[in-house]
């Protein structure tokens, strides 16, 4: 039996294959932000003259999405199932904006955002949630029909940011409360906002389940039934944050310590697991953070390979539920 266990245990640990999403020409790093149901990925990568947003597909690899301004920078933050991307583009404190990118129109400015940030999340109706960096920061929701809706006044006016939305028009993020602390919020147009407690919400799925980071600097899962649940950290770490949640309630993010960070996967059956233990031990990768997960369980993030930070995609080769 001892020999049998030795043979079985490596295969049980190798749930995912790792794909290197590569670099833009002349670049030295790339970082993935989000993945859609079709396996298309967005993020940003460096390359002359500035870092640019990218769209990665299996067929075409990494495509440079350009920038709104000549010699300017851009970054991709979210991608919907139409392959439409949102993020931000910047060249100086005046010329910068959140954008919507489509293959048909290219990168189009939608909301001026001052010093940076921009669109943080896009749903399948091309509704964009994000924030500006005026003082104080201001959460917004943008739609093609109505343009920008500034949420900051509705959230108390002391500063806010919107980080996630879904196809039901539900939006999450953070606002600064009168107690001076940051609180996570849940907002809809018909009902207004709901204070979820201290912390910052980052993403929401179609069931209205919310993830983010709480006041203890730990990843959280908020549900209507259970409220805000602290997801803890990987063993030995002192902090964590959740970046994304899929249809099935699987959550990804990173767990941190003074020595660095590790990408994690959380589900209700297994709790929080280090994704580095779920890939082949000889892959050469160190997975630092996971930033997106789709309905099929494919995960994107950023890790180190051959001394460089590269965007990665993990695809299932076995059951992550084992």
Apex 241 CA angle, 238 and 15, nearest 5: 95
The answer on pLDDT for 4 being more than 70 is no
Whether 288 is in a domain gets the answer yes
Assigned domain for 141 exists = no
Secondary element (H or E) of residue 109: strand 106-112
* Model confidence at 87: pLDDT above 60: yes
pTM listed for this prediction: 0.94
Question: If we measure between CA atoms, which residue out of 60, 64, 58, 110 comes closest to residue 87?
Answer: 110
Sign of torsion over alpha carbons 320, 121, 67, 160: negative
pLDDT at residue 134 in the model: 86
pLDDT of 2 higher than 60 = no
Between CA 169 and CA 42 the distance in angstroms is 22
State how far the Cα of 103 lies from the Cα of 82, in Å rounded to an integer.
Answer: 10
3-state secondary structure of 5: helix
Is residue 309 in a domain?
yes
Residue 230 has what pLDDT? 98
227 has a pLDDT exceeding 60: yes
Bridge partners of 17, per DSSP, are 315
233-255 pLDDT tens trace:
999 999 999 999 999 999 999 99
- On average, the pLDDT of the chain sits at 94
Rounded Cα distance, 318 and 300, in Å = 17
The answer to whether residue 231 sits within a structural domain is yes
Question: What is the chain's alpha carbon radius of gyration, rounded to the nearest angstrom?
Answer: 19
Does residue 241 form part of some domain? yes
pLDDT, tens digit, 9 for 90 and up, residues 269-306:
999 999 999 999 999 999 999 999 999 999 999 999 99
Q: Is the pLDDT confidence value at 68 over 80?
A: yes
Residue pLDDT, tens place only, 146-175: 999 999 999 999 999 999 999 999 999 999
Domain for residue 264, yes or no?
yes
- pLDDT at residue 43, as a whole number: 98
Confidence of residue 14 (pLDDT cuts 50, 70, 90): low
What pLDDT, in 10s, does the model give residues 272-281? 999 999 999 9
- The answer to whether position 125 is within a domain reads no
Average pLDDT over residues 188-217: 98
User: How much is the average pLDDT of 123-140?
Assistant: 95
- Split into its structural domains, the chain has a count of 1
In a domain, 107, yes or no: no
What is the predicted pLDDT for the residue at 26? 94
Residue 180 pLDDT class (50, 70, 90 cuts): very high
Q: Band of the pLDDT at 94, cuts 50, 70, 90?
A: confident
Residue 227 structural domain = 221-317
pLDDT for position 8: 34
Say if residue 228's pLDDT is above 80.
yes
Q: Which of 1-5, 65-69, 106-110, 262-266 has the lowest mean pLDDT?
A: 1-5
């Amino acid at each position: 039996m001892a020999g049998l266990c030795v043979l079985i245990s490596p295969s049980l640990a190798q749930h995912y294959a790792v794909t290197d999403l590569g670099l833009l020409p002349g670049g030295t790093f790339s970082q993935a932000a989000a993945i859609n149901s079709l396996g298309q990925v967005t993020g940003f990568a460096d390359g002359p003259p500035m870092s640019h947003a990218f769209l990665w597909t299996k067929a075409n690899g990494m495509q440079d999405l350009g920038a709104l301004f000549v010699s300017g920078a851009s970054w991709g933050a979210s991608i919907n199932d139409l392959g439409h991307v949102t993020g931000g583009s910047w060249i100086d404190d005046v010329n910068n904006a959140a954008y919507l990118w489509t293959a048909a129109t290219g990168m189009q400015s939608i909301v001026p955002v001052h010093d940076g940030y921009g669109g943080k999340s896009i749903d399948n109706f091309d509704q964009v949630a994000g924030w500006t960096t005026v003082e104080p920061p201001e959460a917004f929701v943008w739609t093609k029909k109505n343009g920008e809706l500034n949420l900051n006044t509705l959230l108390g006016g002391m500063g806010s940011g919107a980080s996630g939305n879904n196809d039901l028009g539900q939006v999450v993020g953070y606002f600064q409360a009168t107690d001076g602390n940051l609180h996570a919020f849940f907002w809809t147009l018909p009902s207004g906002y709901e204070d979820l407690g201290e912390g910052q919400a980052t993403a929401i799925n179609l069931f209205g389940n919310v993830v983010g980071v709480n006041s203890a600097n730990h990843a959280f899962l908020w549900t209507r039934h259970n409220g805000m649940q602290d997801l803890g950290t990987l063993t030995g770490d002192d902090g964590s944050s959740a970046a994304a949640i899929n249809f099935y309630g699987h959550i990804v993010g990173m767990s941190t310590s003074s020595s660095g960070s590790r990408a994690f996967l959380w589900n209700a059956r297994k709790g929080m697991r280090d994704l580095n233990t779920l890939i082949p031990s000889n892959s050469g990768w160190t997975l630092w953070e996971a930033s997106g997960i789709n309905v099929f369980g494919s995960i994107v993030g950023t890790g180190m390979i051959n001394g460089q930070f590269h965007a990665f995609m993990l695809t299932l080769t076995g059951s992550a539920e084992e």
